[in-house]
Structure 1
């Protein structure tokens, strides 16, 4: 995040992720009472128990308490951007409540509503996690537990999420509680899937009878580099130049189309990679 351009990109993606999470909370979770754990689930329950309070206001209160605890036990430096994320998410939810009030769900299809209640926050969380930040809330609890205890944090947070879902079942009915439990597990899988999708790259290996042409195309047209080494074919015994490079999905298609034109007999393998770390890609 050294240059202004990199900071602008980071800020845009962070706020986009937080806004998508807020949209999922306001548009789908709140009107259906999908209290699927975390601070949003607690806020939905609080807004029900205290009718004069909205979900955005409850989020401000809960996140404010958690941020204060985080600063006390972890320090401002450790909390970092988590402080901003916690209050920005609450602000986005409050903004949506004012701009687009939701008095009832969009549809009568509860399962369809659940899909969007899971997908939007999962996509938002994935974007936020992918830029190295967090959405705050229970992440602060996890950071504190990690520092001061040897507790299995993932299990502890899952138990707390299921407890909130059970509370929702007692408050809104068994059907809603079961949907909350289903959504809690579904979100965990979807966040991982979205992150892998965002970071996915193609590891490409090429053996061609036109090695200089392949090298020039990768360097000059795709603006990527490659590792080049000499290998010997087991059947032919001939020495061949082998290129290994990492490309985006679009670049891999361009390379394949180029090889189809210049060397239809070239050997090409393309393998998906969920994350690439190094120069030209993500930093450690």
Structure 2
């Protein structure tokens, strides 16, 4: 059997898509650097990962956080290329170089411009909770933009991928374990019991925001409708809501009677409308409504 080898991800150099990809990568690196430099480091929040280690080294040894992260990322990513292959390639190296450059360069630029607090421009003082919340959101946005380019900012995601290949343990569990160890190191070094709580809050928010950036926010709902009046409900969905869907044959569990189930997806404005219509047509209809994470296709988001 002949298999056509098609690359969906290779970008032609200097094409519009190539420029868009690297512009997104540049923006993501800049945004994630703001989160680490101006929200994490000044308030001794350890958000796991390489920059969590860098924050600890910054306070213990005076290392610039970008340079410290670069010292870890460079050998780690080279190891990743050797063990995992070239998927941790050019864009990943460019990304962690940009993040390191922005992280150490932005305070110097602010200092040159005469900013009174170049290393802590937001001056949140004792509002560490605000720093952890906004930092998690900002870093999540930056990391999400980077991941949309099919790249990585390096760090412990590379290490967890390597350990996954070597140990066959779930990558999510490995990532959580590594980040938790780093967070606990922050507790030991800074001798402040609040550090892990702020840090885990930041890590949680980062994960949620990354999902939103990559998948988008969707309030669409999927309806599964089992009714004796399938035809009337189908007609309403097609003619009044102008939505499509599928009709699936199903068997009842109790007596194995044959029925039909309608599956359709509607947007937020149409949810209550369809609920009321189903109740009016068949009050005994069995309806399951589920969150639709992301809908791609006609009438919703484009595949592009």
TM-score by length of 1: 0.69
> Structure 1: which 5+ residue stretches go unaligned?
232-239
Is 1:244 the counterpart of 2:244 in the alignment? no
CA distance 1:22–1:217, change in 2 (3 Å): farther
The Cα offsets for residues 66-115 of structure 1, whole Å up to 9 and x where unpaired, read as: 22222233332454643343333323323433344224742322222222
> Structure 2: which 5+ residue stretches go unaligned?
1-7, 111-117, 251-258
Residue 24 of structure 2 contacts residue 146 of structure 2 at CA under 8 Å; is this kept in 1? yes
Question: In the TM superposition, what are the counterparts of 1:66-81 in structure 2 within 5 Å?
Answer: 66-77=76-87, 79=89, 81=91
Q: Shift of residue 165 of structure 1?
A: 3.0
Residue 118 of structure 1 contacts residue 187 of structure 1 at CA under 8 Å; is this kept in 2? yes
Write 1 or 2 for the structure with the bigger share of helix. Answer: 1
Is 1:86 the counterpart of 2:105 in the alignment? no
Corresponding residue of 1:33 = 44
Q: Shift of residue 272 of structure 1?
A: 0.9
Q: Shift of residue 136 of structure 1?
A: 1.9
Is 1:168 the counterpart of 2:186 in the alignment? yes
Question: In the TM superposition, what are the counterparts of 1:124-163 in structure 2 within 5 Å?
Answer: 124-126=142-144, 128-129=146-147, 133-151=151-169, 153-163=171-181
Whole-angstrom distance in 2 between the partners of 1:11 and 1:255: 39
Corresponding residue of 1:236 = none
Q: Shift of residue 179 of structure 1?
A: 3.1
Please, which of 103, 107, 119 is the counterpart of residue 102 of structure 1?
Answer: 119
Question: In the TM superposition, what are the counterparts of 1:230-241 in structure 2 within 5 Å?
Answer: none
RMSD: 4.3
Aligned with 1:34: secondary structure? coil
TM-score by length of 2: 0.65
Aligned with 1:76: secondary structure? coil
The Cα offsets for residues 220-266 of structure 1, whole Å up to 9 and x where unpaired, read as: x67xx4224689xxxxxxxx99753234xxx3315755998x99935
Q: Shift of residue 32 of structure 1?
A: 0.8
Corresponding residue of 1:234 = none
